[in-house]
Amino acid sequence: MADQDEGHGIDLLSMHSELARDPQPTYRTLVEGSPVLHLDGIGVLASSRAAVDEVLRAPEVFSSNMSAHDLKTRRPLIPLQTDPPRHREYRKILNPLFAPKRMLELEEPITRLVNELIDAFVDHDEIDFAKQFSVPFPSQVFLTMLGLPLEELGRFVAMKDGIIRPDQVVGEPRGHPATDAHQQATADSIYAYFEDLLEERARALRDDIVSHFLIAEVDGDRLSHDDVLDICFLFLIAGLDTVSASLDCFFAYLARHTDARGQLVADPDVIPNAVEELLRWETPVMAVARVATRDTEIAGCPVRGGDQVMAMVGAANVDDGELPDAGEVRFDREANRHLAFGGGIHHCLGAHLARVELRVALREWHRRIPDYRVKPGVELEFTPGIRSLDTFPMLLGPA
């Protein structure tokens, strides 16, 4: 195991904008030179595919409990921050609600939402892709699934940002009293919102995901009121932010790589493979946190009980030990075991929904807007940790 003071030139888990903007060179440096790295005051970084797999597939040793995720929540978020055996009980109930067939049934309304957004700017010369597409699109899908009016969009985006990036909202660093107060107030408002929604749905069930949470039953097991509340909290922050980040990453890449974009325009059938490859290469969620429950090892390197462990899924996704040409972006891969949706028992519950959203977005966008590019002179500034953009000035049409 390498230590921070051995001089690798990596200020990694402060996750500065330089790393978020272009993470692949640092990922490869980690995989090749420091597959397991200890950073004083931060914890342990596992970066090679073998090391990350070891962390993600041993939940009894590397816990996902609440201590790894401080979002000012009252309880661990379900199922993300739960460990076996309780985690298995939750997934048994939740997995059928997010099964591929159910998510494919959403393709028609998702297609309609995409085209309504594109209608508003298809004839423009310049747009802000983040503000006009990547943020509102998944948020509108979320509102549709909850059976809520699209007019709630601004409120939900504000709640999401207040939890995930309160420092950017407030303008003070994390740990500052004002930042902590804003994050806590946002968390309280999310609970209050969903308390009211659950009460409303309990009085009159509908054909929406919240109603399904309330009535879902497998082998006599059902979700409690607090369970549903905690699931909704997670659903809000995960369902909105990660798809927005994926779209930002995908379109930033495609805007700069005309050959890759041309493949999608010429042959839409390549889009499912392109989604998987761009998830692998861009990996919008750069790392996932775990806590070591006891003294152990990762790839033969010692880890102390209580250490925070960051599984660098982005680095694992460009490890040549997994793919011999991992440094290339190829839309013709027949096998792509990327970890953009995590791995092991905590593989993302909403992965099938995210795939439908991303496939539809790429298909409809490139059907209607084949040519676009980053506005000249603009340096895209990705947020750290989850690689999203606050602003993405984009020019539409041929150069």
> pTM of the entire structure?
0.92
With cut-offs at 50, 70 and 90, classify the pLDDT of residue 42. confident
- Per-residue pLDDT tens digits for 145-180: 998 998 998 998 899 889 988 988 999 988 899 999
pLDDT, one tens digit per residue, over 243-259 is 999 999 999 999 999 99
Binning pLDDT at 50, 70 and 90, where does residue 335 land? confident
Place of tokens 């059976």: 147
Q: What is the pLDDT of residue 13?
A: 43
Q: Can you tell me the distance from the alpha carbon of 26 to that of 91, in angstroms, rounded to the nearest whole number?
A: 35
Number of domains in the chain: 1
Average pLDDT, the chain: 91
Q: At what angle do helices 225-256 and 153-164 cross, to 10 degrees?
A: 90
Give the CATH number, domain containing residue 242. Answer: 1.10.630.10
- Mean pLDDT confidence for 221-238: 91
Instruction: Report residue 280: phi and psi, to 5°.
Output: -65, -50
CB contact at 8 A, 69 and 82: no
Owning domain of residue 310: 2-396
